[in-house]
């Protein structure tokens, strides 16, 4: 009996120690992983570890990583004048709308937001500029096919500026059609198209508000409306971006004293960034009172092949830190080819 009892105790002791060993090994593995930034899944909302200083605990059914507590910067790609009539329309009808943008599809896809100047209305009217002669009136009257909106949306161009000198090429009805077709495709817009129709667009990401404001030289009293919009938009959690349509066409380099003074006035009125269009050529950029000013991005999609300058464009990627609103800039040179495609220039 004594031997049997001792054997029974020994077996019981061994079973207990084996069980403890199986319970201990996973716990030790868990501890060894925590110190290496391992991503851990917690399915019970009450079982999260106490976050370190400066971190916040995740919500229920989330992945919590000690290495990914900071918000990601907002990325905005700005491009210049977009025109889908004349030769561009003819090429799109033959090759498809996607053909025009297929060489820069990757560039457009790598951003939170893409902003372009829509240099004309989107209507169901017949084009009058196709086949027209250079310098005739019809050559400068644009309308874009409604199928364009689907193409823009698929290429991530989902914010457009309407405040320019061509938006009224087909009158008030053309502007109304443009807004309808854009809305149906999920494309947002902003721009000063007159005293009773000045639209400001606010986008929010990670608690940061991006406010898009347009100055339009072709709209009466646009300067006053722009300054008022800047004053109203000035808030600690906002970044005010002015996209002016201004300046002298085909003037390269220096935009001229009048445009420069106006840009400085916008910065003094609380603009955090100024990015212009209209001259159809790339112009100078500068920093004023710590704020970046791009006077003209030139063309983005356009059939102006009569000079090397009008075949060049500039895309600017702006990365905004949501915590302190600081910005980083990347400039990408573009080229308009005579087959109507826009490509990245070789000097990038």
pLDDT tens profile 184-229? 999 999 999 987 888 999 999 988 999 999 999 999 999 999 999 9
Least confident of 4-8, 58-62, 128-132, 266-270: 58-62
CB-based burial label for 26 (10 Å; 0-12, 13-18, 19+): exposed
Q: 8 or 197: which carries more pLDDT confidence? A: 197
CA dihedral over 126, 130, 132, 134, signed as positive or negative: positive
Q: What is the pLDDT of residue 71?
A: 63
79 pLDDT higher than 50: yes
Q: What is the pLDDT of residue 203?
A: 97
SS3 for the chain is CHHHHHHHHHHHHHHHHHHHHHHHHHHHHHHHHHCCCCCEEECCCCCCCCCCCCCCCCCCCEEECCCCCCCCCEEEEEEEEECCCHHHHHHHHHHCHHHHHHHHHHHHHCCCEEEEEECCCECCCCCCCCCCCCCCHHHHCCCECCCHHHHHHHCCCCEEECCCCCCCCCHHHHHHHHHHHHHHCCCEEEEECCCCCEECEEEEECCEEEEEECCECCCCCHHHHHHHHHHHHCCCCEEEEECCECCCCCCCECCCHHHHHHHHHHHHCCCCEEECECCCCEECEEEECCEEEECCEEEEECCCCCCCCCCEEEEEEEEECCCCCCEEEEEEEEEECCCCCEEECCCC
321 pLDDT higher than 60: yes
% of residues, the chain, pLDDT over 70: 80
For the CA atoms of the chain, what is the radius of gyration?
Answer: 29
Least confident of 98-107, 196-205, 261-270: 196-205
Q: How does residue 348 score in pLDDT terms, banded at 50, 70 and 90? A: confident
Q: 328 or 2: which carries more pLDDT confidence? A: 328
Query: Side-chain half-sphere of 144: how many Cα atoms within 13 Å?
Result: 28
Rounded mean pLDDT of 256-280? 98
Q: Judge whether 84 and 144 are in contact, CB under 8 Å.
A: yes
Q: What is the pLDDT of residue 230?
A: 97
In the chain, what is the greatest distance between 2 CA atoms, to the nearest angstrom?
Answer: 118
329 pLDDT higher than 50: yes
Distance CA 36, CA 170 (A): 63
% of residues, the chain, pLDDT over 90: 76
Q: What is the pLDDT of residue 97?
A: 97
Q: 30 or 148: which carries more pLDDT confidence? A: 148
Sketch out the chain's domains with CATH numbers: 2-64 (no CATH), 74-344 (3.60.21.10)
Distance CA 97, CA 100 (A): 6
Least confident of 54-68, 94-108, 164-178: 54-68
Residue 232 token pair: 């109203």
Least confident of 40-49, 62-71, 80-89: 40-49
Q: What is the pLDDT of residue 197?
A: 87
pLDDT tens profile 13-66? 444 444 444 444 444 444 344 433 333 232 233 332 333 333 333 333 323 222
């Amino acid at each position: 009996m004594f031997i049997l009892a001792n054997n029974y105790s020994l077996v019981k002791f061994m079973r207990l120690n084996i069980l403890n060993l199986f319970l201990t090994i996973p716990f030790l593995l868990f501890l060894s992983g925590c110190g290496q930034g391992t991503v851990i899944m917690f399915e019970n909302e009450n079982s999260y570890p106490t976050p370190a200083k400066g971190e916040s605990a995740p919500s229920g059914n989330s992945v919590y990583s000690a290495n990914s507590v900071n918000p990601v910067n907002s990325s905005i790609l700005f491009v210049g004048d977009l025109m889908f009539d004349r030769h561009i329309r003819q090429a799109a009808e033959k090759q498809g709308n996607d053909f025009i943008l297929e060489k820069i599809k990757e560039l457009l896809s790598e951003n939170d937001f893409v902003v372009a100047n829509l240099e004309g209305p989107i209507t169901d009217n017949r084009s009058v500029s196709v086949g027209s002669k250079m310098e005739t009136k019809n050559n400068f009257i644009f309308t874009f096919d409604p199928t364009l909106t689907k193409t823009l949306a698929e290429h991530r161009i989902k914010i457009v500026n309407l405040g320019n000198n061509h938006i009224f090429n087909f009158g008030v009805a053309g502007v109304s059609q443009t807004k309808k077709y854009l809305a149906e495709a999920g494309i947002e817009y902003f721009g000063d198209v007159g005293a009773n129709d000045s639209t400001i667009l606010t986008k929010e990401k990670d608690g940061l508000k991006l406010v898009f404001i347009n100055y339009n030289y072709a709209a009466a009293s646009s300067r006053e409306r722009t300054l008022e919009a800047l004053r109203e938009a000035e808030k600690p959690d906002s970044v005010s971006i002015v996209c002016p349509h201004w300046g002298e066409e085909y003037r390269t380099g220096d935009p001229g004293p009048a445009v420069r003074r106006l840009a400085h006035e916008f910065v003094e009125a609380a603009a955090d960034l100024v990015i212009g269009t209209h001259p159809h050529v790339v112009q100078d950029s500068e920093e004023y009172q710590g704020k970046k000013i791009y006077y003209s991005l030139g063309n983005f999609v356009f059939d102006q092949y009569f000079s090397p300058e009008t075949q060049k464009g500039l895309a600017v990627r702006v990365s905004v830190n949501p915590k302190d609103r600081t910005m980083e800039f990347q400039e990408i040179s573009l080229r308009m080819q005579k087959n109507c495609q826009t490509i990245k220039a070789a000097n990038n």
